[in-house]
Every structure is written in structure tokens, then in C-alpha cells.
Structure 1
């Protein structure tokens, strides 16, 4: 069995994030949660993934604080998976992946699902990165600075 590299102590926030959500299945589970899916069986039907793999991914997402398990909202004996504040913080990541996929993996005019603003019913604007003073930023406008060694 292949041993997975762990990044929980990495200096890079991207690497640390990959420990929790670096798997395609995990991101699809999170996407479905934003679409209102909360129960194991609903995730399984939506994604068509093996139950053991789904169980493993959900356990990991709970352990990383992305989901919490709560009693079923209908009072039944079931449990539901609810996004925590940490999980809800992934909304921009999911929208960014959607928009990237729309831009690079669909032919012009090809049909795909769309996320709309509930109040206006309009598709979302493309995400933008802006500086503290409001300037639009691209990769060439940014750089990563490593933490300074103490001592």
C-alpha cells in the first residue's frame, strides 16, 4: 500500500489544506454539501462512489473539522453531515474550481450547470483577486514570502 505524504506541519497553507481536501472525491462531497446534500445515502447516490470510500472520505472531513455530524433534521434516527464554518469557508474554492472548469474544459456554448445568486437569479461574476487598495491582481503581481526563521 502506498504511504501518503502528510502536510499538517508544512509551512505552505496550500500543502496543509491538501491534507483535508486534497482529494477529488472530498471536493465533490463538499460541492454536494453546498447543494444541500446532508445524508450518507444522498452523497452515495449523487456521487455513485463505493460506500467504503465515501465513509473514509467523510470520516476524514469530519476529523479535519470540515463537517460535523448532527442528528437528522427530520427527527429520524439518521445522522447528517453539516458543513462547519471551516467547511463553509471552502465556498470560494468550489466556485473558483467551477469557474476554472467552465473556462477551460467546456466548448463555447456547451451546456453545464450554473450557480446563480438566489436574490437576483443571475450567474455569479468571475472571482477576482484584488490588492488591499483594490487593484486587480494576476500571478505576475504576487509572490510568496517564506516565514523568517526565529533566533
Structure 2
């Protein structure tokens, strides 16, 4: 089933179940997708929708860290609940071993020899790990392999 259809079905189910927090989060996702479609004047494909979800999860993780450092655990809990809903629509995360193997394979296949070739390696990796791993971690592993 297409991701957008799954989101619409889950939105309907949340409405019927009167699950306001879940419904609110799904509506936020749908609004973000619609905003991207209007801005780009095109319909988003699966990868682009996944990028929107990834960005939303990252924003919420940043918010959780800020709320916790400010002692606002009530707000951090709301953000954490939203992350849980968003992650239901994301693909299964990659394990450390899988990430390491993908990085080594990308470095070898791109013929990268120095840090100047990092862009080539990241271009190979991004479509493979989009929404399944933290790009910051990936970047660090690539730097370690090239440095």
C-alpha cells in the first residue's frame, strides 16, 4: 500500500477511535506533505514523503532535547508521543552492522580515497538509508572510513 494511502486510512481510523493525539499528529504529517506539494507544484513520491517524515522526526527529537534541558517534561512527553506515531510510517531502521556494511560498500563502489570524495559516497548512501538511519551518524562513519 502506498504511504499516502496508509496515512489517510490511519487518519480515518484515528477519527473513528476519537484518538485526538494520534489524529493531530497524522494531520500535521498530511499538512506538511500538502505544503511540500503546493510549494513544489507537484505530487510527492514515496521517497519525498519519507523525507518529510524524517524531517518531522528530527525536529521533534530536537524539541525533546530542548524541553528536557528546560525542565519541561510535559512538553517533551507530547513530542515523544508524536515521534512514536511518526515512526510507525517509517521503514524499519537499519542495525549498526548493516549501516557499517553499506558505508564500506559505498566507499568501495565510489572509488573514494579522501575526504574530497565524501559527497560521492553520501550521494550513493542517501537513497539507501533515507528514513532508516540518522544521516549524522552516516556522515561520521563515512568520515572515519575516508580519514
TM over 0.5: no
- Higher fraction of helix: 2
Higher RCO (C-alpha under 8 Å, 6+ residues apart): 2
Q: TM-score by structure 1 length?
A: 0.30
- Higher fraction of strand: 1
